């Protein structure tokens, strides 16, 4: 859901923010906004689909006191959550954990 349904996870211990940046790019996301403390990525998709894995997605990674913070959300309006967003977040967390 556009800003309403997000998966937020603190990853500690984790790779560095720069390593996380490369991992997210390798996962098929493009950088959208880059700041010293956080990076916003987007992955294109179709807005008319019955599969959550085909929707456009926004992922944010940022520095935390220890480790990094990850937020994933659909970058479009959705009527229901099929669980694909949480599955994607879990896959990214496994790649970003030390």
Q: Which residue ranges in the chain fall short of pLDDT 70? A: 1-4, 46-54, 77-81
**Per-domain boundaries in the chain:** 6-96
Q: What HEC string does the chain produce? A: CCCCCEEEEEECCECCHHHHHHHHHHCCCEEEEECCCEEEEEECCCCCCCCHHHCCEEEEEEECCCCEEEEEEECCCCCCCCCHHHHHHHHHHHHHEC
Residue 82, number of CB atoms within 10 A of its CB: 13
Q: What is the pLDDT of residue 19?
A: 96
Q: What is the pLDDT of residue 14?
A: 95
Q: Can you give the pTM of this predicted structure?
A: 0.83
Q: What is the pLDDT of residue 42?
A: 95
The CATH number of domain 6-96, selected from 2.30.30.90, 2.20.25.670, 1.10.10.10, 1.20.120.1630: 2.20.25.670
């Amino acid at each position: 859901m556009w800003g309403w349904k997000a998966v937020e996870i603190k990853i500690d211990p984790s790779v560095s923010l720069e390593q996380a940046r490369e991992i997210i790019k390798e996962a098929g996301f493009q950088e959208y906004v880059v700041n010293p403390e956080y990076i916003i990525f987007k992955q294109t998709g179709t807005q008319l689909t019955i599969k959550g894995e085909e929707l456009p997605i926004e992922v944010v990674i940022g520095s935390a006191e220890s480790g990094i913070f990850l937020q994933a959300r659909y970058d479009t309006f959705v009527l229901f959550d099929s669980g694909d967003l949480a599955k994607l977040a879990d896959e990214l967390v496994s790649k970003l954990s030390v």
